[in-house]
Structure 1
């Protein structure tokens, strides 16, 4: 079974081809190609992602990225078993580009088309990279999402927690911008934090001690700004930047660990046979967070599975793999499928409440 996956939901144009031995349903796949074209330089002058710029870049690059992925895989389109593309959620202009590209390939070569939920791509990546068995608990942390979900199986999820305001990746980017570290903020903030004193600035830990598994990061982000504004006038000193980065990162890791601990205990109640916490999404690349989660799972009696760093951020391999998972179950989509800007994994989850805010 061979599937081409196309990812265009945000600021990476990506395509990947994965082959799997369908007689072994518990095996991971063989990644034949994995091409990612970043748009960081196009968005850097704006200090964040501009949807119109992203859509235009996807339109200019999608065909070339797909062509490169097929060339590196050494395959023709008629040797594929299906083509999958992110159908949402995401920036709708980019999602449309990926979906229409995949549909065109499907029609031209008489292939099944599979619309993949971008979040499910992240959710299932650990099955590709680490052969993780269902069920497991997923901590999904990125620029647009902060969620804790039980992954019962393909297409079956129970959301235990989500952010009531900002996603953690957004908090990283905004805090890094306040510190003059540029965009994207995660990597330079993490690098600065290694040189800083995490105890210098007493930043808040939102929702700490509260029951449940929801997150909140807007207050932490605001506290970073207030603390910076209270420093002596003038440019931030290099040590100020490093100390604030370390203090912010420590606060995030503490919050993540506590909320995830609550989720692990709920997961144990609902799924006594579950043994694994999976962390996925761009923020999962943060080594301080991974270290904190390693200590947590050891204390709680679980195993931590984290995909390789290149498969934590958006990529085509996760879409191709999710396509394979669905194709194995006989699940394909009509060419009438409409791209979706919003597409929750657990549509029946109640609205999040906390800190006086509903989301």
Structure 2
């Protein structure tokens, strides 16, 4: 019954699986004004035709995002795994759900999720925030929020009976006679879609402030964009990821990359269940292929990689410099540098200690300190 319930909700609210390329048909302007807080060079993100962004839905979603009642045990909220001070990541190797289940993957930052072509580490089929939100709310493997066919009516009613929500729902959905889970999911998605982060020192540098970056960070920026390090191939553009879509695009790529972290069987294998896009598609060539995370705010979102298995930015750089990771002890022994499915850009490079420090200085310049404390994104119950 649990599986049937979750599948029913997913089909009702999430849409169909996508391909490796997704046509973006909805490029219309929003019918309501919304302050995206964007620099002039940024194109607006795509809004779903059935869930245009409004300020009222954003504020309703902000309340829901921080509300522990939106869980089976009343003990966790979306903010439990996505903390504002960590750019909406959580600082843990892997998060634990409301029932004690350890999630197989590291919590990603939600900042700028509106522009991501796919919204999880390794699932090509999840292309909208609305789809993704269904998994932590209603999923059973692992259990996160723990909402199921038994408790979901009571959870919904506990939200709707709160006078604060009466006013918030009335403003967000003034013509709707009955509120259901779709409106909760859409409002949560609107809040996440509205979390934008373009106020870093790097952004000031782009805007013409020559003093915004230190000399070390400027050298790091040059190294980052060099053919020697080749970081920019997978972490390019304003979002520092190659998995991007916006309203100017007609065809959107949804790339995934194997970075040579594992090779547990000598044949390219990654530890179950984290086999990347391969887990969904079954294609062996996509073994270990994960989405390139955005590097904005990367300095405050440690630990790193899809499973949180690398603790520091220095270790990340050294892993790429080595052309992958060679694990010589423990349960995941194997030379990822020799993974046959490794991306061709993970070829290794020479780098000095001073250059490592310069690259880290540049990555630190991508932190949006204002985002981490902006009351607009903060807990409305405090």
TM range (shorter): under 0.3
TM-score by length of structure 1 reads 0.25
More helix by share: 1
More strand by share: 1
